[in-house]
Amino acid sequence: MHEVIQYISSYLTSDKTPGAAGNMFWAFVYIMLVFLGLSVAVIAMNWLERKILAHMQVRLGPMRVGPHGLLQPIADAIKLLLKEDIMPAEADGFVFWMAPLIVVLAAFTVFVVVPFGPTHAVTDMNIGILFMLGVSSLSVLGIVMAGWASNSHYPLIGALRSSAQMVSYEVAMGLAVVSAILMTSLNASGTGTLSMIGIVQAQLAQGEWFIFKFFPLGLIAFFIFAVAMVAETNRAPFDLAEAESELTAGFHTEYSGFRWSLFFLAEYSAMIAVSSIAVTLWLGGWLRPFPNWLSGETWNQIFNLFPGVTFLFFAAICFYNTVRMPKHPLFRIQTLGLAGFGVVLGLIGLILFYPPVSGRMQDVFWFSAKVAGFMYMYIWYRGTFPRYRFDQLMQMGWKVLLPMGLGVLILTAGVALLQEYLKQIWHL
Amino acid sequence: MTDPNTTLSHLDPVAHEKPFLDANELVINMGPQHPATHGVLRVILHLDGEKVLGLECVIGYLHRGVEKIGEHRTYTMFNPYVDRMDYVAAVSNGLGYCETVERLLNVEAPPRAQHVRVILTELNRIASHQLWLGTHALDIGAITPLFYTFRDREEILKIYEKYCGARLTTHAFRIGGLQYETYTGFEKEVKNFLTFFRPKIDEYEELLTTNRIWVERTKNVGIISAADCIAFGVSGPVLRASGVKWDVRKAQPYANYKNFDFDIPIGENGDTYDRYLVRMAEMRQSVRIIEQAVDALPEGPIMAKVPKVMKPPAGEVYHSIEAPKGELGYFIVSDGSTQPYRVRVRPPSFVNLQALDVMCRGQLVADVIAVIGTLDIVLGEVDR
């Protein structure tokens, strides 16, 4: 018993990820936490997307289930789980059954290496970014399988569109990623890293986020990635694979109930995954703003307040809306519910002020905040842009983003070499 | 493309282009239950991958036999039925029918009635174009304009509701004039709407006109030449976007359109983008017409002297008006009895829909959606 406790508690003083420290127990805990956090994020994203999109479109969005529709995603989840499991008679049963599993597995597995903080990742792989790109592109397989197994025209076209799109945007995406990885090697030892944690630490060591590195090269690479990642996740304006006005629902036309919800889950977690890559590579991952410039204990204390203040702000919004609720008795439960939600958020905020907690949660907070920014952009795109046509999409991928990516890669390498060369002649 | 031998034989599957490298031709049923076919249109698409080789429209899912019903109703009783054809432009349908019967009876509606008719019809044109804009943009993937247009269309429907009690199938006009006098404050409300609506057109345009993706999706898509338009009998904004300056309001003025000053916006290329611009400009022109009509609204009777039991003299008459979607014509044959001997409607949607095949050949599936949207068809009118 004593050994077990020691085994468990020994990790707490370690500064490695549980995977890297070889601690199975904590690795398991982290996997569970990531899984839980991701599910909650998808649920929250579902509600936020509907609400934000609705407010962009001069309507209210869900308002009935729970206060301001807060319970709507849960109601939807229950509905989906209780639905009859339909498989088309002509479908290829096994492949039809496998497809959503592959998609959802690919979407969740990538989170093994996502660094929420220097120690907050399931594991730290030395090929982290390759692993992420590789595994996340496996979901193409699932989508093609879904389209093929449905044995129907719309899903087939949707799947083919989707696979062509994802494969061609991966090329531009890869080039942008390589140019960021090149930047990690600009240190004393001259060796770069593919580890997700290493990439963020390189940004800390070099004193700037890679988006600002070699301005505007880092920015262009980030832009290429930011466009490609929208295409990669089949979201508007690149949502041709599920263009509802053309292909009804694209590759998942024949899916319903639980299987469909797996696709939904996979889509949203894939969005979070690619946003995490962008955040890690260009926006300094878990680093708070100005970690070098505004360093020191005082600044650390000030920035430690941010997570708590954010949650208290959310709680304040809840209380403000509680006051604005109609005073009719019918709304009593909703008002109480909203107030309760506000209290929960406020309590989380207060806990986050507790120094040990705030010190440890700091990284996770900044990482999530940056990812949340990308999530908002996704919704914003959806509310603003019309949909690209297939040939225009391909044109954009191969004729615009790919040459841009190549150019940025070559220029980055050139500028890096030049920098090293100048350093040598001036210092020697 | 303009050769009638190839364009008009599209129902023959042999006539269209063969797929690349003898690949299998993919035949897809788009509709009748499809989110982007604007009702119950069924389009059989022949595809080579994503490229459209040819298509056939299958219609009739919404057929209610309106024309046949007309033969069994008196002239007055048939009036509400025409509202159900193009249900988003019910007022225009009513205007066309009432004017046709008035010509048959040889009566003319009094000036005040004419003015109110013009106001309501032009409001209807705006409402119809708003609905077109919202759904068209939705088809192309921009979901937001739909809600903006519906928000503003609501104001028009409120005016209708206050005027005649109905919002959609209004039955606003009667043969010989109007049933109802305008309500108190009608002029003021219409004017308020105009001041409210003018900046809204700019708002729609801001969302779409210079939007890169929108321009890419609509420019050079679904091109139809002026000659093709005329050969197919296409009318309305689709014809005008191809560069033909033909508007029944100017060419054969009805109601009292000749008293109002307005322009006919035309396009150049006959592509989807031009049709979009033409309709946007038409909304602005409608605002101009309504403004003049409200300012010059005369006092006086609203109903001409028409017999209680209408028995038009035997004969036939064809009369057409410029409905929001094109030339809406009524051909009525009277045998001197209380019921028409034959009612034939020339619906603009039905005729415009025939050009779909020519406009879509060689384009992609996504363009078919854009073209169906830009033709602005209403299946209630196509099938009648």
**B15: pLDDT confidence band, cut at 50, 70 and 90?**
low
- Check B144 against A57: CB less than 8 A apart: yes
- Check B365 against A157: CB less than 8 A apart: yes
- Nearest CA-CA distance, residue A240 and chain B, Å: 9
Closest alpha carbon within chain A to B45:
A153
The residue ranges of chain A whose pLDDT is under 70 are 241-249, 428
- Check B366 against A386: CB less than 8 A apart: no
pLDDT at B128: 92
Q: Which of A384, A385, A399 to mutate to test the interface with B (most CBs of B within 10 A)?
A: A385
- Check A387 against B26: CB less than 8 A apart: no
**B13: pLDDT confidence band, cut at 50, 70 and 90?**
very low
Residue B262 has phi, psi (to 5 degrees) of -155, 160
pLDDT at B170: 86
Report the mean per-residue pLDDT for chain B: 85
Least confident of A27-31, B17-21, B64-68: B17-21
Closest alpha carbon within chain A to B49:
A157
Residue bearing the bigger pLDDT, B50 or B287: B287
Closest alpha carbon within chain B to A242:
B141
- B330 occurs within a structural domain: no
- A-B CB pairs within 8 A amount to 79
pLDDT at B19: 59
- Check A390 against B137: CB less than 8 A apart: no
Among the partner residues A58, A161, A387, nearest to B141 by beta-carbon distance? A387
Instruction: Say if residue B295 is in the same domain as residue B153.
Output: yes
Q: Where are the alpha helices (DSSP H) in A236-331?
A: 244-247, 257-282, 297-324
- B324 occurs within a structural domain: no
Among the partner residues B36, B147, B217, nearest to A58 by beta-carbon distance? B147
- Check B139 against A240: CB less than 8 A apart: no
Give chain B's largest Cα–Cα span.
72
- Check B141 against A237: CB less than 8 A apart: yes
Residue bearing the bigger pLDDT, A20 or B314: B314
pLDDT at B17: 59
Give B-chain residues touching A59 at CB under 8 angstroms. 147
Q: Could you say which of B26, B42, B58 is where a domain stops?
A: B58
Task: Give the pair of three-digit tokens for residue A318.
Answer: 């809840």
- B36 occurs within a structural domain: yes
Closest alpha carbon within chain A to B373:
A245
- B27 occurs within a structural domain: yes
pLDDT at B22 over 70: no
Instruction: Say if residue B250 is in the same domain as residue B187.
Output: yes
Q: Could you tell me which residues of chain A have a Cβ less than 8 Å from any Cβ in chain B?
A: 53, 56-59, 153-154, 157, 161, 236-237, 239-240, 243-248, 382-392
**B231: pLDDT confidence band, cut at 50, 70 and 90?**
confident
- Check B369 against A384: CB less than 8 A apart: no
Least confident of A292-296, A312-316, B55-59, B151-155: A292-296
Q: Which of A55, A152, A230, A389 to mutate to test the interface with B (most CBs of B within 10 A)?
A: A389
Instruction: Say if residue B240 is in the same domain as residue B116.
Output: yes
Q: Which one-letter DSSP state was computed for residue A396? A: I
Instruction: Say if residue B50 is in the same domain as residue B116.
Output: no
Give A-chain residues touching B144 at CB under 8 angstroms. 56-57, 383-384
- Nearest CA-CA distance, residue B51 and chain A, Å: 10
Count of structural domains within chain B: 2
- Nearest CA-CA distance, residue A387 and chain B, Å: 5
CA distances from B248 to B112, B121, B132 (A): 21, 14, 20
pLDDT at B84: 87
Give B-chain residues touching A243 at CB under 8 angstroms. 141, 366
Among the partner residues A153, A382, A389, nearest to B364 by beta-carbon distance? A389
Q: How big, in percent rounded to 5, are the helix, strand and coil portions of chain A?
A: 75, 0, 25
Instruction: Say if residue B47 is in the same domain as residue B96.
Output: no
Give A-chain residues touching B216 at CB under 8 angstroms. 388-389, 392
Give B-chain residues touching A248 at CB under 8 angstroms. 34-35
Task: Give the pair of three-digit tokens for residue B166.
Answer: 């109905």
Instruction: Say if residue B205 is in the same domain as residue B71.
Output: yes
DSSP string for A186-219 = -SSS------HHHHHHHHHHHTS-TTTTTTTHHH
- Check A153 against B141: CB less than 8 A apart: no
pLDDT at B85 over 60: yes
Q: Could you say which of B17, B42, B58 is where a domain stops?
A: B58
CATH code of B84's domain: 1.10.645.10
pLDDT at B315: 86
- Nearest CA-CA distance, residue A355 and chain B, Å: 45
Instruction: Say if residue B37 is in the same domain as residue B140.
Output: no
Mean pLDDT of B150-169: 89
- B351 occurs within a structural domain: no
Tokens 């159900």 correspond to B84
DSSP string for B136-162 = HHHHHT--HHHHHHHHHHHHHHHHHHH
3-state secondary structure of A178: helix
Instruction: Say if residue B113 is in the same domain as residue B208.
Output: yes
% of residues, chain B, pLDDT over 90: 13
- Check A389 against B139: CB less than 8 A apart: no
- Check B144 against A248: CB less than 8 A apart: no
pLDDT at B9 over 50: no
- Check A392 against B216: CB less than 8 A apart: yes
State the Cα–Cα distance between residues A289 and A362, nearest whole angstrom.
12
Give A-chain residues touching B28 at CB under 8 angstroms. 153-154, 157
Closest alpha carbon within chain B to A60:
B147
Contacts of A202 (CB under 8 A, 6+ apart): A183, A184, A186, A187, A192, A193
According to DSSP, the β-strands at B42-48 and B51-58 are: antiparallel
pLDDT at B1: 41
- B299 occurs within a structural domain: yes
Closest alpha carbon within chain B to A241:
B366
Instruction: Say if residue B157 is in the same domain as residue B183.
Output: yes
Domain that holds residue B244: 66-306+365-383
pLDDT at A208: 82
pLDDT at B5 over 60: no
- B344 occurs within a structural domain: no
pLDDT at B8 over 60: no
State the Cα–Cα distance between residues B126 and B288, nearest whole angstrom.
12
Q: Which of A49, A245, A387, A392 to mutate to test the interface with B (most CBs of B within 10 A)?
A: A245
Instruction: Say if residue B126 is in the same domain as residue B230.
Output: yes
- B333 occurs within a structural domain: no
Among the partner residues B148, B213, B366, nearest to A385 by beta-carbon distance? B213
Give B-chain residues touching A58 at CB under 8 angstroms. 147-148, 151
Instruction: Say if residue B52 is in the same domain as residue B77.
Output: no
Mean pLDDT of B281-292: 91
Instruction: Say if residue B42 is in the same domain as residue B166.
Output: no
pLDDT at B7: 42
